[in-house]
Amino acid sequence: KNCGMFRHKVGASVVAVRRSGGIPTFNQLNNYINYAEMIVPTSNYWNVVHGTASGDAYSDVEGVQIMRVLGKNMAWALKLVESGKATIDEPEKEMKTYMSFIR
């Protein structure tokens, strides 16, 4: 457990793949970000870029645009969080409630 060290931090999943498997990987990475109570900026599509060798991803023009939009949205979200710290109280952390579905 990370003791909440990522709670209310801004973060995003980014995946680089050769061919397929990017979306399931992206979804799995997002599961942790959601579990950690992080703030997640988005892009205009899934954050997956394609390439095989070093530098190949630059040829994935759609992937490059996705990362650029993500970077801009992340910078904006970071600024929003920072500017709100002086005027908006952070929500109190709740202790996790556990329930077993097996009865």
High-pLDDT (> 70) share of the chain, %: 98
Length of the chain counted residue by residue: 103
Domain ranges of the chain: 15-84
pLDDT greater than 70 at residue 89: yes
Query: 2-32 burial, b if ≥16 CB within 10 A, otherwise e?
Result: eeeebeeebbbbbbbbeeeebeebbeebbee
User: pLDDT band at residue 74, thresholds of 50, 70 and 90?
Assistant: very high
Q: What is the pLDDT of residue 48?
A: 98
Task: Please choose, from the candidates 12, 24, 14, 13, the residue with its C-alpha nearest in 3D space to the C-alpha of residue 57.
Answer: 14
How many other CB atoms sit within 10 Å of the CB of residue 70?
19
pLDDT greater than 80 at residue 71: yes
Q: What is the pLDDT of residue 1?
A: 60
Q: What is the pLDDT of residue 103?
A: 74
